[in-house]
Amino acid sequence: MGNQITPHFNVDEFTCKCGCRTNNITRPLVEKLEKVYEYLNATSRGVQGIYITSGYRCPRHSVAVGGSADDAHTRGIAADFFALDSAGTRYESRILAAVCEYVGFSGIGVIDKTAVHADIRNASNYKNAHWFGNEMTGNDNIETWREFLPAIAANVPHETNSKTRIKILVDDKTIYESEV
């Protein structure tokens, strides 16, 4: 492995996969990915790792894999990835998209059931400053991924509409029951 950029990511993970060995990845992108790692590690199951499937792409390679010669990957502001929990199970992509939105990514796309695209586009570094989409359905007009944000740690703020039923039993007799 190459030089560490942050505690959980190194340069080699973001190098173009075509063999040209170019890497123009931006540090702010990797720092946001580190925040995704921190959020997921707040779970009781924790995170085993985040695996970058595509980071920086040279324009030629980007076109070859279905992107464009000037997409977010060619600008070093995007990464495609999946994450495994401590049991080795892949997180669902909609959950990853929600976490990416929570930590401030402005370009988020669900690639498949377990992989996402995340980028740090804005008005000065890309043609549009915001995009949430689902590449499986072709829907490029997702308003938010928040409904999939897991309440995965007591110290992570979240909104929920669900209620919890509390039941206290003593010697198999209910002494208290409530919904909160």
CATH no. for residue 146? 3.30.1380.10
State which residues form the domain around 137.
Answer: 4-179
Which residue numbers in the chain have pLDDT < 70? 1-2, 42-45, 151-169, 175, 177-180
So what's the pLDDT on residue 169?
Answer: 67
User: Rounded distance, CA 128 to CA 41, Å?
Assistant: 31
User: Rounded distance, CA 126 to CA 148, Å?
Assistant: 27
| Count of domains observed in the chain | 1
Q: What is the pTM of this model?
A: 0.81
So what's the pLDDT on residue 154?
Answer: 37
Specify whether the CB–CB gap between 120 and 107 falls below 8 A. yes
So what's the pLDDT on residue 171?
Answer: 72
For residue 38, the surrounding DSSP H or E stretch is helix 27-41
| CB-count exposure of residue 43 (10 Å: 0-12, 13-18, 19+) | middle
Largest Cα span, the chain = 70
Specify whether the CB–CB gap between 86 and 46 falls below 8 A. yes
